[in-house]
Amino acid sequence: MRSPLLKVVVAVTLPIAFEKLHKDSILSTSVGLARAFCLETSVRSQLAIAINEEDSHRVAQFSCEVLTCDPNSPKSLAATLGESDSFDLVAIHDSQRPLTRTTQFHRTLEALIGEVDAVRPVSRFTETLKLVTPEQTVKQTIDRNSILRVSTPEIVRYEAIDFKSDRSNWFVPLKAGTKCAKVHADLESLRINSLADSALLESLIFWQQSRGR
The residue extents of the domains of the chain are 5-210
Q: Top-level CATH class of 5-210?
A: alpha beta
CB 14 within 8 A of CB 55: no
In order of 72, 86, 124, 209, the CA distances from 76 in angstroms are 8, 17, 29, 39
Spell out the per-residue pLDDT of the chain, length 213, in tens: 678 999 999 999 999 999 998 789 999 999 999 999 999 999 999 999 999 999 999 999 999 999 999 999 999 999 999 999 999 999 999 999 999 999 999 999 999 999 999 999 999 755 554 456 676 665 555 544 556 789 999 999 999 999 999 889 999 999 999 999 999 999 889 899 988 777 666 666 655 555 555
Q: So what's the pLDDT on residue 130?
A: 47
Element spanning 32, H or E: helix 26-40
Nearest to 56 by CA among 96, 98, 29, 18: 18
pLDDT value for 2: 73
**Following DSSP, what letter does each residue of 131-148 receive, concatenated?**
EE-TTS-EEEEE-GGG-E
Residue 134 one-letter amino acid: P
